[in-house]
Amino acid sequence: MDRIKDIGPQPQAFDIEAATKANTNYRSVAWSGRYLQVTLMSIPVGGDIGLEAHPETDQFLRLDAGQGRAAEALRRRAG
């Protein structure tokens, strides 16, 4: 399978399961839009991506194999 290239906000279709399983890079951006970014990750056993915060974008997590733990905090803005 060819590596998925981020073409920005233009529409793009690909088999996300096949692309995820074929990805061997720790982090590979597959698509970036205004409020969402699709990133394929290959995290080694026992690996950790650390804490990340993306308050201006939607987050979507999909685990293809193994086990994982995700922590989410909802923070409301004053205003």
What global pTM score does this model have? 0.69
pLDDT interval class at 76 (50, 70, 90): low
pLDDT interval class at 2 (50, 70, 90): low
Residue 70 domain-assigned? no
pLDDT interval class at 6 (50, 70, 90): confident
How many domains is the chain built from? 1
Residue 39 domain-assigned? yes
Residue 69 domain-assigned? no
3-state secondary structure the chain: CCCCCCCCCCCCCCCHHHHHHHCCCCEEEEEECCCCEEEEECCCCCCCCCCCCCCCCCCCCCCCCCCCCCCCCCCCCCC
User: Each residue of 18-64: pLDDT tens digit?
Assistant: 888 888 888 888 888 888 888 888 888 888 887 777 778 877 777 78
The residue range of the domain holding 44 is 1-64
pLDDT interval class at 1 (50, 70, 90): low
Residue 48 domain-assigned? yes
